[in-house]
Structure 1
Amino acid sequence: MQKKVILKNGLGIIIGAFIYAIAINDFLIPHQIGEGGVTGLTAIGYYALAIPPAFTNLVLNGLLVVIGFRYLERQTIWYSVWAVIWISLFLKLPHFIGYHTTQTLIPTVIGGVLMGIAMAIIIHCQGTIAGSTILAKIVNCYLGIPNGSAMLFFDLIVAIPSGLIIGFQNMLLTIIELYLSAVVLNKLLAKFGAKRAVTIISDQYETIAETLSTQFQQGITIIKAQGYYSQNDQPMLYVICTAKQLATLVPVVSQIDVKALVVVEEVRSVQAEQLKQLL
């Protein structure tokens, strides 16, 4: 089981690294749009001194990985090293899309969305892209600040001064791109852990509970409740399920009691030992 998890995370990180490299090589660098953190420094190094982004990425991220060894889990660090290696390799490849336009807002938006997707995949697979994501991960672990928000803070520290190299307009586009990537990152990380909390109120709660328990093979909580107006006892069922299970649950409840009240909420849930993933 552990080997399957490692393989799944390793492949996921490769996919995330590929998307990340496309965002940089095909949308950001060709249009003189900067970045934050180490990626921003690699872009500045390329614009100002023609230093290959792959080289700068490998050296600077290597230093931050060393810092991460002190504050993060070893598993996260090794996955981060794996991500940095693949990002550096993909950055050395020629452009896949070769897209160019004078409408700079288009690559800004596309680049920001792709960066957010790539980082979400990599972080979901227990890794980071090193750079500001390692610093963000440390802040997330110790202060509970969302990864995307913490990363945006560190990225802006590099992005704003980069205006001296790439110009004021491109600096503003860089800030837009960083904001979009942070929003996409936070949204996707929240979705990765999302489930549905279902509250069912019905006079036939016992039959519903037995049917759902048998069908889903999981525990169902019975909550003792009392109607305010009638003052009668009215137990409620509380179920945590996936979106796919919800599609089955609702018809089952309706077949047993067409008058049942079903309340559905989106929640984030993990096992106790994984509580830090909710941050």
Structure 2
Amino acid sequence: MRQGIPKNRKLCLQAAGIVLGTLLYAVSINYFLLPTRLGEGGVVGLTTIAYYTLGIAPYLTNFVLNGVLLIAGYRFLDKRTTFLSLWAIFWLSVFLKLPVVAVYHTSQTIIPTVASGVLTGIALGIIMRCGGTIAGSTILAKIANRYLGIQTGTATLILDLSVALPMVFIIGFQNMLLTVFELYLSDMLLNQFIARVGAKKAIFIVSDAHAAIAAELSERLQQGITVLKGEGFYSGRERTLLYLVCTPAQIAKVVPIVEKVDANALIVVEHVRSARGLQMHQLL
């Protein structure tokens, strides 16, 4: 029972995050995209086509097409992702059905284009960070990311363009170009959001005071630490390395803690995005 509580709490947080993400996505569609007569990619792009040509409500097309696609691709996803994706599709359809309170009118079409791209990128980032998808091109992009290693935003962009470009015959050349720009902006923000929000960083620490540093970090951060043995090529001495995985916010705490114990300690963040240390030739 005690182990089930954190899992249930995490699922609740993920479900709440997806509701927020789908709300932002619906705002992007109802308040900026449709009033400006812009297109979209994937299933949402198909819903706009159905809306512009046949007058079919976006929430209905979204629910039917995304539901069918999710059922067809469920075997590529785990049960939790499938459940959270169904949850996202349901709430996106609910929010799309809500009446639009006030539409933002402007002759500068680039403004709603940018607003839609930013909101869509953040919305998809929240949904995917919470473990879900909105089916459509995002579920195909997640499959491509898992099995082909393609960045989620890049795969989404490729799939979205395959729907957006032919829309030139419906929304015109100018709006098609604006749609492509909106897709590019949203997918680049999606990549950045996934890469930065909630991301983990790996840190290597080299110090003669490794035992004291490990004890201090463990007590202050409640963080698991791995002790590795190595040998410095320059000095020929055996060295002890500390390895830990933490959040970007924790990195800001790690450095002062380590320097308080050993001002000459070497600290390296994975991908060499940050490295600190004094007398490095003596350390290694």
Tell me if TM exceeds 0.5: yes
- Once the two structures are superposed, residues 75-113 of structure 1 have per-residue CA deviations (whole angstroms, 9 ceiling, x without a partner) of 222221211111111111122552121111111111111
When residues 263 and 137 of structure 1 are mapped into structure 2, their CA distance, relative to the original with a 3 A threshold, is closer
Tell me what 1:236 maps to. 241
When residues 256 and 3 of structure 1 are mapped into structure 2, their CA distance, relative to the original with a 3 A threshold, is closer
Which deviates more from structure 2 when the two are superposed, residues 4-13 or residues 208-217?
208-217
Counterpart Cα distance in 1 of 2:178 and 2:150: 25
- Give yes or no for the alignment of 1:224 onto 2:230: yes
Counterpart Cα distance in 2 of 1:231 and 1:6: 50
Q: 1:263 aligns to what SS in structure 2?
A: strand
Counterpart Cα distance in 2 of 1:252 and 1:73: 39
Tell me how many residue pairs correspond in the alignment.
266
Tell me what 2:63 maps to. 58
Matched-pair contact (CA < 8 Å) for 1:31–1:107: yes
Choose the corresponding residue for 2:180, options 159, 175, 182: 175
Counterpart Cα distance in 2 of 1:143 and 1:227: 37
When residues 66 and 27 of structure 1 are mapped into structure 2, their CA distance, relative to the original with a 3 A threshold, is same
- The equivalences for 1:132-143 within 5 A come to 132-143=137-148
- The equivalences for 1:200-279 within 5 A come to 200-217=205-222, 218-228=224-234, 230-265=235-270
Identity of aligned residues (%): 51
Question: Given residue 227 of structure 2, which amino acid in structure 1 is its aligned partner?
Answer: T
Counterpart Cα distance in 2 of 1:40 and 1:76: 23
- The equivalences for 1:181-192 within 5 A come to 181-192=186-197
When residues 143 and 262 of structure 1 are mapped into structure 2, their CA distance, relative to the original with a 3 A threshold, is closer
Question: Given residue 262 of structure 1, which amino acid in structure 2 is its aligned partner?
Answer: I
Question: Given residue 29 of structure 1, which amino acid in structure 2 is its aligned partner?
Answer: L
TM-score (norm 1): 0.87
Question: Given residue 219 of structure 1, which amino acid in structure 2 is its aligned partner?
Answer: I
Q: 2:89 aligns to what SS in structure 1?
A: helix
Q: 2:213 aligns to what SS in structure 1?
A: helix
Tell me what 1:125 maps to. 130
Counterpart Cα distance in 2 of 1:205 and 1:81: 48
Counterpart Cα distance in 2 of 1:142 and 1:249: 34
Stretches of structure 2 that go unaligned for 5 or more consecutive residues are 273-284
When residues 219 and 259 of structure 1 are mapped into structure 2, their CA distance, relative to the original with a 3 A threshold, is closer
Q: 1:30 aligns to what SS in structure 2?
A: coil
Matched-pair contact (CA < 8 Å) for 1:35–1:43: yes
Matched-pair contact (CA < 8 Å) for 1:65–1:134: yes
When residues 195 and 6 of structure 1 are mapped into structure 2, their CA distance, relative to the original with a 3 A threshold, is closer
Which deviates more from structure 2 when the two are superposed, residues 16-25 or residues 38-47?
38-47
Which deviates more from structure 2 when the two are superposed, residues 188-197 or residues 22-31?
188-197
Q: 2:105 aligns to what SS in structure 1?
A: coil
Choose the corresponding residue for 1:94, options 86, 95, 99: 99
CA RMSD after TM alignment: 2.0
Which deviates more from structure 2 when the two are superposed, residues 179-188 or residues 199-208?
199-208
Tell me what 1:75 maps to. 80
Stretches of structure 1 that go unaligned for 5 or more consecutive residues are 268-279
- How far off is 1:23 after superposition? 0.4
Which deviates more from structure 2 when the two are superposed, residues 213-222 or residues 153-162?
213-222
Q: 1:207 aligns to what SS in structure 2?
A: helix
